[in-house]
């Protein structure tokens, strides 16, 4: 699982570095966001939700709803950083939005601990790669927002590194809570369900589908289906 942590860590750094070349108002960014949201949504539907409900745990829906509610609260704190909707105001480091983003990233990494321990077929590589592709455009957005707000480069890099570390740390923390595997998975699934659906509706101008976005979403869903085989 160390390789997965490295992949997650460097995907954030790669996404942050791309902010010097890709603008957040560009078509390339919007399409990458739509693709990542669709891939994440497909992974939830095809991999995580089947695993959650195969044990017929009657209370698991409560944990999914709780995760959805947690993300609603985190949205209030982070101003939408997790799903690509954020505009910096002023030239101070946005501590509260970053804290919300780090908490979100920490929770979304928790299901990876179960995959590391049991190598479940439902998760497979789908969960890891959906998180990687979700985090890259978000890292680009975060870095762009901080740079546009004239935040000093050392603080931008520090924020990016903390963001890169938060998902692996969530997985490591969950590894010590093996008695709560299903609640953790349900919480993370609800959180990611909120984020992925929000991305799909917010990643295009005027919230309208066009041919490019339809292709990006179809490709994301198709990739999640391919990983099911």
pLDDT digits (tens, 9 = 90+) for 59-117: 888 999 999 999 999 888 877 776 655 555 666 778 888 999 999 999 999 988 865 55
By residue count, the chain amounts to: 229
Pairwise CA distance, residues 40 & 195, whole Å = 9
pLDDT on residue 213: 86
Task: Supply the pTM of this predicted model.
Answer: 0.86
Which tens digit of pLDDT belongs to each residue from 175-228? 888 778 888 889 999 999 999 998 887 755 555 568 888 899 999 999 988 887
Instruction: Determine contact, residues 84/196, Cβ cutoff 8 Å.
Output: no
pLDDT of residue 226: 87
DSSP string covering 52-104, please?
A: HHTT--TTHHHHHHHHHHHHHHHHHHHTTGGGT-----SSS--HHHHHHHHHH
């Amino acid at each position: 699982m160390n390789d997965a942590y490295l992949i997650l860590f460097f995907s954030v750094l790669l996404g942050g570095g791309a902010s010097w070349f890709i603008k957040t108002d560009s078509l390339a960014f919007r399409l990458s966001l739509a693709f990542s949201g669709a891939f994440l949504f497909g992974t939830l539907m095809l991999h995580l939700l089947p695993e959650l409900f195969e044990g017929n745990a009657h209370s698991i829906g409560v944990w999914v709803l709780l995760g959805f509610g947690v993300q609603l609260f985190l949205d209030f704190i982070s101003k939408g950083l997790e799903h690509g909707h954020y505009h910096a105001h002023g030239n101070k480091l946005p501590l509260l939005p970053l804290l919300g983003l780090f908490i979100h990233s920490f929770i979304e990494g928790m299901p990876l601990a179960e995959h590391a321990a049991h190598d479940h077929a439902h998760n497979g590589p789908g969960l890891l790669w959906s998180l990687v592709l979700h985090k890259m455009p978000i890292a680009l957005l975060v870095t762009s927002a901080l740079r546009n707000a004239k935040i000093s480069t050392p603080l931008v890099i520090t924020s990016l590194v903390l963001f890169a570390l938060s998902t692996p740390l969530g997985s490591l923390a969950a590894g010590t809570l093996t008695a709560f595997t299903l609640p953790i998975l349900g919480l993370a699934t609800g959180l990611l369900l909120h984020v992925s659906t929000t991305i799909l509706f917010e990643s295009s101008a005027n919230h309208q589908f066009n041919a490019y976005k339809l292709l990006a979403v179809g490709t994301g869903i198709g990739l999640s289906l391919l990983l099911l085989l």
